[in-house]
A and B are shown apart, each in its own frame.
Chain A
Amino acid sequence: MGLFDIEKKEGYTIIVGCGRLGANLASTMSDGGADVLIIDTDEGSFRKLSPSYGGITVVGDATDMQILREADIAKATAVVSVTNNDNTNILVAQIAKEMFHVPHVIARLYDPERECVYHELGIDTICPAVLSAKEIDKILHLQEVQEGAL
């Protein structure tokens, strides 16, 4: 990909929480040419973003609707809430969905037990424990098949 032929993509994504996942996601999306804004309460956490990150950073509490308005949430096509607190992610996701009618809302939940309650609200949830378990199972299964073939 050349310097000037970065394809401009439609849409605008807000990422809440600049942890490892948030920073990684924001950097990847920004490198891919997407409009990204990332919110975190701690300014220092933005150092995790890649040096080429071309999006906006906002310092503030994303559960505060004023901060979300400043982030222009009404224009967002997606909100991804990946703070380290499940309940904060749920709160942010529900505010995005119910108050600002954002089309795509994704929340990361460490605890898979709460998932069922939020599916019916139209919020997609990502659960690292479940994903990891599936992936490990896949690898182990693959190895078994290979061993069986030998």
Chain B
Amino acid sequence: MKTRIFLIGGFQKTKFLAKSLLKKGYHVTAINKDTEKCLAMAEIENLTVFNGDGTKPFVLEDADAYNADIAIALTEYDADNLVICELCKKKFHIKKTVALISDPKKTEFFYRMGIDSVVCAITAVANIIEQQTFLDEMATLVPIGEGRVSIAQIPIAATAPAVGKKLWEINLPKEVIVGCVLRGEQSIVPQGDTRILTGDVLVLISANKQQMAAIKELTGR
């Protein structure tokens, strides 16, 4: 059976997400309390659309929430998204719930209330902007675990202070490790006495936003 995904609230994001998920072969149901928006979304092929307030248990029940596998709450109000996810979790026993929030300070609270994944639009956008700003230093930066851990790929230029040093000589923050050194065709899993050379690309795994401090230590910027 296809994985069934519920998208509750939202409009532009929901449409985009629905199309993308349908293309990947999921069964997608969108719930929205605005009739006009429902009609617009109904034009998307294969999308099941429900007109109703997703924070009300009977609406979710009508939409067959008991058989849903994933619920994603995308309304503009944090309170509504919390209630949607809690209803989905506690009443309908949906395995995975995802909530969009606008206030970054509530992230921890939402996790504590048992929501599986909390996406904060403001933090996400700020992180991407920050990453784009330092794009010349970093080929890629992949945030994992809601941005608590990140994997970065760092090219070492000839001018970098880390050049010629052994790994243990570099004063990296505690929560950062160099997972791999890419040198030409070779990929080396480094030890403390691995020497860093010009042109190396380091794969850095860092926790708790330490990557900037680590990058500064390695590249001098």
Contact = CB atoms under 8 A, between A and B. Distances in A.
B105 A65 contact: yes
Contact of A94 (B77, B82, B90): B82
29 contacts: A63-B78, A63-B79, A63-B103, A63-B106, A64-B105, A65-B105, A65-B109, A66-B105, A85-B79, A86-B55, A86-B83, A87-B55, A87-B79, A87-B82, A88-B79, A90-B82, A90-B86, A91-B78, A94-B82, A98-B112, A98-B113, A99-B109, A99-B112, A111-B56, A114-B56, A114-B83, A114-B87, A117-B87, A120-B90
B79 A91 contact: yes
A64 B79 contact: no
A87 B103 CA distance: 16
A58 interface: no
B58 interface: yes
Contacts of B87: 114, 117
Contact of B56 (A91, A98, A113): A113
B90 A90 contact: no
Contacts, number: 52
Interface residues of B, number: 20
B94 to A, nearest CB: 13
Contacts of A87: 55, 77, 79-80, 82-83
A95 interface: yes
Nearest to A117: B90
A116 B58 CA distance: 13
B173 interface: no
Interface string B98-129: 00000101100100110000000000000000
B165 interface: no
A41 B106 CA distance: 19
A111 B82 CA distance: 16
Contacts of A90: 79, 82-83, 86
Contacts of B161: none
Given A66-B105, A98-B113, A114-B56, 10 more contacts: A63-B79, A65-B105, A65-B106, A85-B79, A87-B83, A91-B79, A94-B113, A98-B109, A99-B109, A111-B56
B95 interface: no
Contacts of B106: 63, 65
Contacts of A65: 105-106, 109
A24 to B, nearest CB: 24
B183 interface: no
B83 A113 contact: no
Contacts of A66: 105
B59 to A, nearest CB: 10
A91 B82 contact: yes
B90 to A, nearest CB: 5
Contacts of B109: 65, 94-95, 98-99
A98 B57 CA distance: 23
Interface in A103-130: 111, 113-114, 116-117, 120
B162 to A, nearest CB: 41
